[in-house]
């Protein structure tokens, strides 16, 4: 190892070594900042959840856990759009939301955005069922979407271009490019989702997923913004009549439970029961009636705040809308 390399390594190590004085100064600065910015952070956008879940702050890793087809991706897309709207509403300069997708093409993600913006069905858009009037409304919505501070990292359906692997290393480079070329930094980063992140080494697959959770947490610290990480639950979640997956059920990674600062669980009861069936529950609501528009979300973990509460919510999957459930 060269002397230059040794000096570079020593400088990097010094950045993570804090004297008692330095550490106390940093802590007091953070406490005072939190005091003056009480309530500041990335909010979810649905009142009942925001009343309980503390706003997402820089350095936090927030997990979204759900079984396959139980709306974890839909919830993350909704939250990303709401975070972008928050940037506009609060006139936050130089910040954007970054949505990173392995599961969907860029065109598909934006189609859901446009469906929500124009109150159209994404299903109809994908099937080409668009009237002339709807197409004109869609064009206006597309113009509005170009001004929304919501950037996407992913692959396109278009052909003819090389497709770099979406590894966390390459994503970090893309995030640095966001700053160097456009002068923008992330307000929140959404990763959809953990088990789809492309691997970089020859290690055992389970260990790669395990360490990727650490790297996602490190991303939240390095980028000074919250990172929202989706994760697929293992099939043991099917063993329960209550479809919110156990906090321990993240597929291929027990590290998810331990490293996330907050964890939200998602469940579409229509995937487990027939429409119109009544599901017995515990707590504030003793039963819920299953419908196509019922989504259950539970705050399973919250560092520095209460956890365990859950909410029956209204969802319109075709328009990617989430709101309070009408009484």
Chain segment 126-163, per-residue pLDDT in tens:
888 889 999 999 999 999 999 999 999 999 887 666 67
* Residues in CB range of 171: below 8 A, 6 or more apart: 100, 153
pLDDT digits (tens, 9 = 90+) for 186-210: 999 999 999 999 888 766 878 888 8
The answer as to whether 135 is a domain residue is yes
Judge whether 313 lies within some domain: no
Which residue range is the domain that position 257 belongs to?
A: 40-266
Q: Does some domain include residue 280?
A: no
Q: Is residue 326 in some structural domain?
A: no
Position 229 pLDDT exceeds 90: yes
In a domain, 303, yes or no: no
Q: Please report the pLDDT score of residue 39 as a whole number.
A: 56
Q: How many CB atoms lie within 10 A of CB 41?
A: 18
Q: What is the domain count for the chain?
A: 1
From the list 44, 52, 65, the residue with the least C-alpha distance to 259 is 65
Q: Provide mean pLDDT across the span 28-49.
A: 80
Collapsing DSSP to helix, strand or coil, 103 comes out as: coil
Query: According to the model, what pLDDT value does residue 10 have?
Result: 65
Position 2 in a domain: no
Residue 280: in which H helix or E strand, if any? strand 278-280
Report the predicted TM-score, pTM, of the whole model to 2 decimal places. 0.88
Say what the pLDDT of residue 3 is: 43
* Mean residue pLDDT across the chain: 88
Are 217 and 61 spatial neighbours (Cβ–Cβ below 8 Å)?
yes
Identify whether 28 is part of a domain. Answer: no
Considering the domain boundaries, does residue 22 fall inside one? Answer: no
CATH of the domain at 218: 3.40.50.300
Over residues 55-73, the mean pLDDT reads 95
User: Higher confidence at residue 165 or residue 260?
Assistant: 260
């Amino acid at each position: 190892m060269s002397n230059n390399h040794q000096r570079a390594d020593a400088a990097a190590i010094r950045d993570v070594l804090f004297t008692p004085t330095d550490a106390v100064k940093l802590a007091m600065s953070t406490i005072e900042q939190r005091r003056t910015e009480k309530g500041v952070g990335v909010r979810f956008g649905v009142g009942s959840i925001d009343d309980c879940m503390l706003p997402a702050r820089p350095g936090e890793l927030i997990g979204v856990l759900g079984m396959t087809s139980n709306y974890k991706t839909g919830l993350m897309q909704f939250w990303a759009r709401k975070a972008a709207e928050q940037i506009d509403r609060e006139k936050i300069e130089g910040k954007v939301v970054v949505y990173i997708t392995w599961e969907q093409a860029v065109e598909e993600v934006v189609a859901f955005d446009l469906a929500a913006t124009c109150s159209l069905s994404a299903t109809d858009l994908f099937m080409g069922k668009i009237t002339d009037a709807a197409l004109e409304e869609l064009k206006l919505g597309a113009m509005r979407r170009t001004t929304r501070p919501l950037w996407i990292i992913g692959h396109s359906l278009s052909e003819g271009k090389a497709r770099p692997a979406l590894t966390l290393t390459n994503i970090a480079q893309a995030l640095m490019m966001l700053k160097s070329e456009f002068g923008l930094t992330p307000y929140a980063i959404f990763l959809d989702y953990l088990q789809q992140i492309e691997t970089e080494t020859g290690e055992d697959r389970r260990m790669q997923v395990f360490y990727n959770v650490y790297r996602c947490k490190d991303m939240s610290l390095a980028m000074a913004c919250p990172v929202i990480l989706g994760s697929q639950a293992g099939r043991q979640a099917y063993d329960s009549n209550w479809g919110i997956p156990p906090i321990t059920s993240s597929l291929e990674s027990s590290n998810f439970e331990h490293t996330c600062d907050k964890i939200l669980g998602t469940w579409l009861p229509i995937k487990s029961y027939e429409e119109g069936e009544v599901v017995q529950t515990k707590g504030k609501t003793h039963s819920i009636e299953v419908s196509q528009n019922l989504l259950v979300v539970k705050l399973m973990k919250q560092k520095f705040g209460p956890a365990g509460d859950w909410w029956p919510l209204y969802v319109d999957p075709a328009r990617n809308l989430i709101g309070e459930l009408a009484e």
